[in-house]
Structure 1
Protein backbone atom coordinates (compact mmCIF):
# COMPACT_ATOMS: atom_id res chain seq x y z
CA UNK A 1 0.00 0.00 0.00
CA UNK A 2 1.36 3.42 -0.96
CA UNK A 3 1.68 6.09 1.71
CA UNK A 4 3.32 9.49 2.04
CA UNK A 5 6.51 9.83 4.08
CA UNK A 6 4.60 11.97 6.59
CA UNK A 7 1.87 9.30 7.03
CA UNK A 8 4.52 6.60 7.36
CA UNK A 9 6.31 8.44 10.19
CA UNK A 10 3.06 8.84 12.11
CA UNK A 11 2.61 5.06 12.46
CA UNK A 12 6.25 3.94 12.48
CA UNK A 13 7.31 2.03 15.58
CA UNK A 14 10.88 3.14 16.45
CA UNK A 15 11.55 -0.36 17.83
CA UNK A 16 11.28 -1.70 14.26
CA UNK A 17 14.44 -0.01 12.90
CA UNK A 18 15.95 -0.20 10.42
CA UNK A 19 13.13 -0.16 7.83
CA UNK A 20 13.79 -0.08 4.08
CA UNK A 21 11.53 2.04 1.85
CA UNK A 22 11.32 2.16 -1.93
CA UNK A 23 10.39 5.47 -3.56
CA UNK A 24 7.25 4.98 -5.67
CA UNK A 25 6.56 8.59 -6.67
CA UNK A 26 7.27 12.11 -5.55
CA UNK A 27 7.63 15.73 -6.60
CA UNK A 28 9.85 15.65 -9.66
CA UNK A 29 12.15 18.34 -11.03
CA UNK A 30 14.09 18.20 -14.31
CA UNK A 31 13.17 14.78 -15.60
CA UNK A 32 12.93 11.80 -13.26
CA UNK A 33 14.89 13.13 -10.28
CA UNK A 34 13.72 14.81 -7.13
CA UNK A 35 16.26 17.00 -5.33
CA UNK A 36 16.27 17.11 -1.51
CA UNK A 37 18.45 19.05 0.90
CA UNK A 38 20.08 16.58 3.30
CA UNK A 39 22.47 17.80 6.01
CA UNK A 40 23.53 20.76 3.86
CA UNK A 41 24.14 18.60 0.76
CA UNK A 42 21.88 18.07 -2.22
CA UNK A 43 21.15 14.56 -3.39
CA UNK A 44 18.97 13.20 -6.13
CA UNK A 45 16.30 10.57 -5.38
CA UNK A 46 14.39 8.77 -8.13
CA UNK A 47 11.47 6.35 -8.40
CA UNK A 48 12.71 2.91 -7.39
CA UNK A 49 15.50 4.17 -5.12
CA UNK A 50 15.77 2.48 -1.72
CA UNK A 51 16.04 4.36 1.59
CA UNK A 52 16.83 2.83 4.97
CA UNK A 53 15.01 4.51 7.87
CA UNK A 54 17.47 4.50 10.75
CA UNK A 55 16.07 7.01 13.24
CA UNK A 56 13.21 9.37 14.05
CA UNK A 57 14.15 12.93 14.95
CA UNK A 58 11.85 15.75 15.98
CA UNK A 59 12.88 18.99 14.28
CA UNK A 60 10.01 21.32 15.16
CA UNK A 61 6.77 21.58 17.11
CA UNK A 62 3.49 22.87 15.73
CA UNK A 63 1.57 24.48 18.59
CA UNK A 64 -1.89 25.97 18.89
CA UNK A 65 -2.36 29.08 20.99
CA UNK A 66 -5.46 29.78 23.10
CA UNK A 67 -6.79 31.87 20.19
CA UNK A 68 -6.46 28.82 17.86
CA UNK A 69 -3.50 30.28 15.96
CA UNK A 70 -0.98 27.67 14.82
CA UNK A 71 2.70 28.47 15.24
CA UNK A 72 5.85 26.47 14.53
CA UNK A 73 8.55 26.37 17.19
CA UNK A 74 12.00 24.91 16.41
CA UNK A 75 13.23 22.24 18.81
CA UNK A 76 16.21 24.52 19.62
CA UNK A 77 13.87 27.22 21.02
CA UNK A 78 15.67 28.55 24.14
CA UNK A 79 12.64 28.71 26.46
CA UNK A 80 11.76 26.39 29.35
CA UNK A 81 8.50 24.48 29.64
CA UNK A 82 6.61 22.57 32.32
CA UNK A 83 4.95 19.29 31.39
CA UNK A 84 1.35 18.90 32.47
CA UNK A 85 0.44 15.39 33.55
CA UNK A 86 -1.72 13.45 31.12
CA UNK A 87 -5.13 13.13 32.79
CA UNK A 88 -5.98 10.04 30.74
CA UNK A 89 -4.97 6.91 32.70
CA UNK A 90 -2.93 4.11 31.17
CA UNK A 91 -4.64 0.71 31.40
CA UNK A 92 -1.52 -1.45 31.21
CA UNK A 93 2.24 -1.32 31.59
CA UNK A 94 2.48 -2.18 27.87
CA UNK A 95 0.65 1.10 27.07
CA UNK A 96 3.17 3.06 29.15
CA UNK A 97 6.18 1.30 27.57
CA UNK A 98 4.79 1.94 24.07
CA UNK A 99 4.04 5.62 24.75
CA UNK A 100 7.16 6.89 26.53
CA UNK A 101 10.89 6.74 25.93
CA UNK A 102 12.08 5.26 29.22
CA UNK A 103 15.80 5.05 30.00
CA UNK A 104 18.35 5.39 32.79
CA UNK A 105 18.41 9.18 32.25
CA UNK A 106 16.48 11.00 35.01
CA UNK A 107 14.33 12.90 32.46
CA UNK A 108 13.22 9.58 31.00
CA UNK A 109 11.94 8.06 34.24
CA UNK A 110 8.25 8.93 34.52
CA UNK A 111 6.33 8.70 37.79
CA UNK A 112 2.89 7.09 37.99
CA UNK A 113 0.17 6.76 40.60
CA UNK A 114 -1.39 3.31 40.94
CA UNK A 115 -5.19 3.51 40.96
CA UNK A 116 -5.55 -0.04 42.24
CA UNK A 117 -3.75 -2.46 44.53
CA UNK A 118 -1.14 -4.73 42.91
CA UNK A 119 -0.06 -7.95 44.64
CA UNK A 120 3.61 -8.83 44.05
CA UNK A 121 5.72 -11.70 45.39
CA UNK A 122 7.92 -9.23 47.28
CA UNK A 123 5.12 -6.99 48.60
CA UNK A 124 2.03 -4.93 47.81
CA UNK A 125 1.66 -1.77 45.76
CA UNK A 126 -1.25 -0.03 47.44
CA UNK A 127 -3.86 2.07 45.70
CA UNK A 128 -2.52 5.63 45.69
CA UNK A 129 1.17 4.60 45.82
CA UNK A 130 3.44 6.38 43.36
CA UNK A 131 6.31 4.68 41.57
CA UNK A 132 9.08 5.70 39.17
CA UNK A 133 9.84 3.57 36.11
CA UNK A 134 13.63 3.33 35.90
CA UNK A 135 14.21 0.86 33.04
CA UNK A 136 12.54 -1.27 30.38
CA UNK A 137 13.63 -4.76 29.38
CA UNK A 138 12.26 -6.42 26.25
CA UNK A 139 11.84 -10.18 26.30
CA UNK A 140 10.58 -12.81 23.85
CA UNK A 141 7.14 -12.89 25.47
CA UNK A 142 6.79 -9.11 25.94
CA UNK A 143 8.88 -7.34 28.51
CA UNK A 144 9.09 -5.78 31.94
CA UNK A 145 9.62 -2.40 33.54
CA UNK A 146 11.87 -1.91 36.56
CA UNK A 147 10.29 0.36 39.16
CA UNK A 148 11.05 2.10 42.42
CA UNK A 149 8.29 2.85 44.91
CA UNK A 150 8.44 6.43 46.15
CA UNK A 151 7.87 7.63 49.72
CA UNK A 152 8.46 4.25 51.36
CA UNK A 153 11.36 3.28 53.59
CA UNK A 154 13.31 1.13 53.18
CA UNK A 155 13.68 1.56 49.41
CA UNK A 156 11.40 -0.86 47.56
CA UNK A 157 12.26 -1.85 43.97
CA UNK A 158 10.15 -4.21 41.88
CA UNK A 159 9.35 -5.13 38.28
CA UNK A 160 6.05 -5.26 36.41
CA UNK A 161 5.27 -7.27 33.31
CA UNK A 162 4.02 -5.47 30.17
CA UNK A 163 0.83 -7.51 30.62
CA UNK A 164 0.14 -5.98 34.07
CA UNK A 165 -3.30 -4.34 33.94
CA UNK A 166 -4.30 -1.46 36.16
CA UNK A 167 -5.19 2.21 36.37
CA UNK A 168 -1.91 4.13 36.08
CA UNK A 169 -2.05 7.93 36.13
CA UNK A 170 0.98 10.03 35.28
CA UNK A 171 2.07 12.23 38.20
CA UNK A 172 2.59 15.95 37.84
CA UNK A 173 6.23 16.88 37.35
CA UNK A 174 7.40 20.22 38.74
CA UNK A 175 10.61 20.35 36.68
CA UNK A 176 11.24 22.69 33.73
CA UNK A 177 12.46 21.34 30.39
CA UNK A 178 13.71 22.56 27.04
CA UNK A 179 11.76 21.54 23.95
CA UNK A 180 14.67 19.28 23.01
CA UNK A 181 14.40 17.40 26.32
CA UNK A 182 10.63 17.07 25.89
CA UNK A 183 11.05 15.83 22.32
CA UNK A 184 13.55 13.17 23.36
CA UNK A 185 11.45 11.99 26.29
CA UNK A 186 7.75 12.43 25.55
CA UNK A 187 7.28 12.54 21.81
CA UNK A 188 7.94 9.42 19.80
CA UNK A 189 6.69 10.31 16.31
CA UNK A 190 8.06 13.05 14.04
CA UNK A 191 10.17 13.34 10.91
CA UNK A 192 12.86 10.81 10.10
CA UNK A 193 16.57 10.60 9.28
CA UNK A 194 17.28 8.59 6.16
CA UNK A 195 20.33 6.87 4.71
CA UNK A 196 20.60 5.78 1.09
CA UNK A 197 20.89 2.04 0.44
Structure 2
Protein backbone atom coordinates (compact mmCIF):
# COMPACT_ATOMS: atom_id res chain seq x y z
CA UNK A 1 0.00 0.00 0.00
CA UNK A 2 1.37 3.42 -0.95
CA UNK A 3 3.00 5.17 2.01
CA UNK A 4 2.69 2.09 4.22
CA UNK A 5 5.08 -0.85 4.35
CA UNK A 6 2.94 -3.25 6.37
CA UNK A 7 1.02 -5.73 4.19
CA UNK A 8 -2.71 -6.18 4.78
CA UNK A 9 -5.60 -8.05 3.23
CA UNK A 10 -8.26 -6.21 1.19
CA UNK A 11 -10.78 -7.04 3.92
CA UNK A 12 -8.59 -5.45 6.61
CA UNK A 13 -7.88 -2.49 4.34
CA UNK A 14 -11.56 -1.67 3.80
CA UNK A 15 -12.25 -1.85 7.55
CA UNK A 16 -9.91 1.06 8.30
CA UNK A 17 -10.25 2.96 5.03
CA UNK A 18 -11.10 6.67 5.15
CA UNK A 19 -13.21 7.44 2.03
CA UNK A 20 -11.71 10.95 1.93
CA UNK A 21 -8.33 9.37 1.05
CA UNK A 22 -9.38 8.16 -2.43
CA UNK A 23 -7.75 7.36 -4.73
CA UNK A 24 -5.35 4.94 -3.00
CA UNK A 25 -2.65 2.87 -4.70
CA UNK A 26 -2.15 -0.73 -3.56
CA UNK A 27 0.59 -3.16 -4.51
CA UNK A 28 -0.23 -6.87 -4.60
CA UNK A 29 2.05 -8.77 -2.22
CA UNK A 30 0.49 -12.24 -2.45
CA UNK A 31 -2.77 -13.94 -3.31
CA UNK A 32 -4.50 -17.20 -4.09
CA UNK A 33 -2.58 -18.46 -7.08
CA UNK A 34 -4.44 -20.48 -9.68
CA UNK A 35 -2.41 -20.15 -12.88
CA UNK A 36 1.35 -20.07 -12.57
CA UNK A 37 2.30 -16.85 -10.82
CA UNK A 38 -1.02 -15.12 -11.40
CA UNK A 39 -3.99 -14.58 -9.12
CA UNK A 40 -7.29 -14.79 -11.03
CA UNK A 41 -10.13 -12.41 -10.21
CA UNK A 42 -13.51 -11.84 -11.84
CA UNK A 43 -14.01 -8.22 -12.88
CA UNK A 44 -17.33 -7.17 -14.46
CA UNK A 45 -18.02 -10.78 -15.41
CA UNK A 46 -14.60 -11.33 -16.95
CA UNK A 47 -11.55 -13.04 -15.50
CA UNK A 48 -8.33 -11.07 -15.24
CA UNK A 49 -4.93 -12.12 -13.96
CA UNK A 50 -3.05 -10.07 -11.36
CA UNK A 51 0.54 -10.82 -10.39
CA UNK A 52 2.60 -10.12 -7.29
CA UNK A 53 4.02 -6.61 -7.57
CA UNK A 54 1.17 -5.25 -9.70
CA UNK A 55 -0.21 -1.85 -8.68
CA UNK A 56 -3.94 -1.13 -8.31
CA UNK A 57 -5.51 2.31 -7.95
CA UNK A 58 -8.61 2.00 -5.73
CA UNK A 59 -11.07 4.76 -6.69
CA UNK A 60 -14.24 3.56 -4.98
CA UNK A 61 -15.72 0.85 -2.78
CA UNK A 62 -19.17 -0.54 -3.47
CA UNK A 63 -21.12 -2.47 -0.86
CA UNK A 64 -22.41 -5.73 -2.36
CA UNK A 65 -23.55 -7.51 0.80
CA UNK A 66 -24.02 -6.95 4.51
CA UNK A 67 -22.51 -9.15 7.18
CA UNK A 68 -24.81 -9.05 10.18
CA UNK A 69 -25.13 -10.45 13.69
CA UNK A 70 -28.60 -11.16 15.04
CA UNK A 71 -29.65 -10.60 18.69
CA UNK A 72 -29.08 -14.33 19.23
CA UNK A 73 -25.46 -13.79 18.07
CA UNK A 74 -25.96 -15.67 14.79
CA UNK A 75 -23.85 -14.30 11.91
CA UNK A 76 -25.51 -14.02 8.49
CA UNK A 77 -24.79 -12.43 5.13
CA UNK A 78 -27.48 -10.48 3.27
CA UNK A 79 -27.04 -9.42 -0.39
CA UNK A 80 -27.60 -5.74 -1.09
CA UNK A 81 -30.45 -6.70 -3.44
CA UNK A 82 -32.40 -8.37 -0.62
CA UNK A 83 -36.07 -7.36 -1.21
CA UNK A 84 -36.96 -6.60 2.43
CA UNK A 85 -37.30 -3.19 4.07
CA UNK A 86 -35.31 -1.89 7.05
CA UNK A 87 -35.19 0.93 9.58
CA UNK A 88 -31.92 2.42 10.82
CA UNK A 89 -31.47 2.57 14.57
CA UNK A 90 -30.11 6.02 15.51
CA UNK A 91 -26.68 6.22 17.11
CA UNK A 92 -27.15 7.33 20.73
CA UNK A 93 -23.57 8.63 20.99
CA UNK A 94 -23.67 12.46 20.64
CA UNK A 95 -21.44 14.42 18.29
CA UNK A 96 -19.42 17.22 19.87
CA UNK A 97 -18.99 19.43 16.78
CA UNK A 98 -20.27 20.03 13.28
CA UNK A 99 -16.86 18.95 11.98
CA UNK A 100 -17.38 15.55 13.58
CA UNK A 101 -20.79 15.22 11.91
CA UNK A 102 -19.45 16.25 8.49
CA UNK A 103 -16.61 13.74 8.75
CA UNK A 104 -18.84 10.88 9.91
CA UNK A 105 -22.21 11.16 8.18
CA UNK A 106 -23.12 11.10 4.49
CA UNK A 107 -24.58 14.51 3.57
CA UNK A 108 -25.77 15.60 0.13
CA UNK A 109 -28.63 17.32 -1.68
CA UNK A 110 -30.35 13.95 -2.08
CA UNK A 111 -33.34 13.67 0.28
CA UNK A 112 -32.12 10.29 1.59
CA UNK A 113 -28.83 11.80 2.66
CA UNK A 114 -30.03 14.74 4.79
CA UNK A 115 -29.68 13.66 8.44
CA UNK A 116 -31.64 15.21 11.31
CA UNK A 117 -30.04 16.11 14.64
CA UNK A 118 -31.25 17.32 18.02
CA UNK A 119 -29.33 20.18 19.60
CA UNK A 120 -28.50 19.65 23.27
CA UNK A 121 -27.50 23.27 23.79
CA UNK A 122 -28.49 26.72 22.59
CA UNK A 123 -26.75 27.99 19.44
CA UNK A 124 -26.92 31.48 17.99
CA UNK A 125 -26.18 31.50 14.23
CA UNK A 126 -26.57 34.77 12.33
CA UNK A 127 -30.02 33.76 11.11
CA UNK A 128 -31.61 33.26 14.55
CA UNK A 129 -31.50 31.26 17.77
CA UNK A 130 -31.43 27.45 17.91
CA UNK A 131 -32.82 26.50 21.30
CA UNK A 132 -31.86 23.47 23.37
CA UNK A 133 -34.09 20.62 22.21
CA UNK A 134 -34.61 22.00 18.69
CA UNK A 135 -34.13 19.59 15.79
CA UNK A 136 -32.62 20.54 12.45
CA UNK A 137 -32.00 18.88 9.09
CA UNK A 138 -28.61 19.23 7.38
CA UNK A 139 -29.29 19.81 3.68
CA UNK A 140 -25.83 20.48 2.24
CA UNK A 141 -22.16 20.66 3.11
CA UNK A 142 -19.50 22.99 1.72
CA UNK A 143 -15.80 22.27 2.25
CA UNK A 144 -13.22 25.02 2.08
CA UNK A 145 -9.49 25.34 2.73
CA UNK A 146 -10.25 26.99 6.06
CA UNK A 147 -12.74 24.30 7.06
CA UNK A 148 -16.30 24.28 5.83
CA UNK A 149 -19.96 24.84 6.62
CA UNK A 150 -23.24 22.96 6.62
CA UNK A 151 -26.58 24.40 5.53
CA UNK A 152 -29.46 23.53 7.82
CA UNK A 153 -33.22 23.81 8.11
CA UNK A 154 -34.88 24.17 11.51
CA UNK A 155 -37.79 21.77 11.96
CA UNK A 156 -41.13 22.21 13.71
CA UNK A 157 -41.04 26.00 13.81
CA UNK A 158 -42.88 28.59 11.76
CA UNK A 159 -41.88 30.59 9.85
CA UNK A 160 -39.28 28.27 8.36
CA UNK A 161 -35.71 29.13 9.40
CA UNK A 162 -32.68 28.19 7.30
CA UNK A 163 -29.20 28.77 8.66
CA UNK A 164 -25.58 27.66 8.32
CA UNK A 165 -23.08 26.39 10.88
CA UNK A 166 -19.31 26.26 10.53
CA UNK A 167 -17.35 23.06 11.07
CA UNK A 168 -15.84 24.69 14.18
CA UNK A 169 -19.25 24.98 15.88
CA UNK A 170 -19.16 23.07 19.16
CA UNK A 171 -22.23 21.56 20.79
CA UNK A 172 -24.06 18.41 21.80
CA UNK A 173 -25.73 16.98 18.70
CA UNK A 174 -27.69 13.72 18.84
CA UNK A 175 -28.92 11.90 15.74
CA UNK A 176 -32.72 11.76 15.59
CA UNK A 177 -34.44 8.44 15.01
CA UNK A 178 -35.37 8.03 11.34
CA UNK A 179 -38.79 6.38 11.01
CA UNK A 180 -38.56 5.86 7.24
CA UNK A 181 -38.24 2.42 5.65
CA UNK A 182 -35.32 1.69 3.31
CA UNK A 183 -34.04 -1.06 1.05
CA UNK A 184 -30.52 -2.31 1.71
CA UNK A 185 -29.33 -0.66 -1.49
CA UNK A 186 -30.68 2.72 -0.34
CA UNK A 187 -28.97 2.24 3.01
CA UNK A 188 -25.68 1.28 1.35
CA UNK A 189 -25.73 4.28 -1.00
CA UNK A 190 -27.18 7.00 1.21
CA UNK A 191 -27.44 6.13 4.88
CA UNK A 192 -24.43 4.15 6.10
CA UNK A 193 -22.15 6.45 8.10
CA UNK A 194 -18.66 7.07 6.69
CA UNK A 195 -16.83 6.23 9.92
CA UNK A 196 -18.95 3.68 11.78
CA UNK A 197 -20.23 1.73 8.78
CA UNK A 198 -19.15 -1.52 10.39
CA UNK A 199 -21.39 -1.02 13.44
CA UNK A 200 -24.64 0.35 12.01
CA UNK A 201 -27.74 -1.25 13.50
CA UNK A 202 -30.67 -2.19 11.27
CA UNK A 203 -34.21 -3.21 12.17
CA UNK A 204 -36.05 -5.51 9.73
CA UNK A 205 -39.60 -4.28 9.08
CA UNK A 206 -40.64 -6.60 6.22
Output the TM-score relative to the length of structure 1: 0.91
Query: 2:3 maps to what in 1?
Result: none
Q: Which ranges of structure 1 fall in alignment gaps of 5 or more residues?
A: 191-197
**CA offset digits 1:85-136 (Å, max 9, x no partner):** 1111111112211221111111100100000111222221110000000011
- Give secondary structure in 1 for the equivalent of 2:33: coil
Query: 1:78 maps to what in 2?
Result: 83
Taking the aligned partners of 1:107 and 1:21, their CA distance within structure 2 comes to 32
CA RMSD between the two structures: 1.4
- Give secondary structure in 2 for the equivalent of 1:125: coil
Check whether the contact 1:114–1:129 (CA below 8 A) recurs between aligned residues. yes
- Give secondary structure in 2 for the equivalent of 1:95: helix
How many residue pairs are counted as aligned between the two chains? 190
- Give secondary structure in 2 for the equivalent of 1:79: coil
Q: Are 2:19 and 1:14 equivalent residues in the alignment?
A: yes
Q: Are 2:51 and 1:46 equivalent residues in the alignment?
A: yes
Q: 1:113 aligns with which of 115, 118, 131?
A: 118
Q: Are 2:180 and 1:172 equivalent residues in the alignment?
A: no
Query: 1:98 maps to what in 2?
Result: 103
Taking the aligned partners of 2:61 and 2:107, their CA distance within structure 1 comes to 16
**CA offset digits 1:143-185 (Å, max 9, x no partner):** 1111011112221111111121111111111110001111112
Taking the aligned partners of 2:63 and 2:20, their CA distance within structure 1 comes to 16
Taking the aligned partners of 1:142 and 1:19, their CA distance within structure 2 comes to 23
Q: Are 2:154 and 1:149 equivalent residues in the alignment?
A: yes
- Give secondary structure in 2 for the equivalent of 1:57: coil
- Give secondary structure in 1 for the equivalent of 2:124: strand
Q: Are 2:63 and 1:58 equivalent residues in the alignment?
A: yes
Query: 1:193 maps to what in 2?
Result: none
Query: 1:194 maps to what in 2?
Result: none
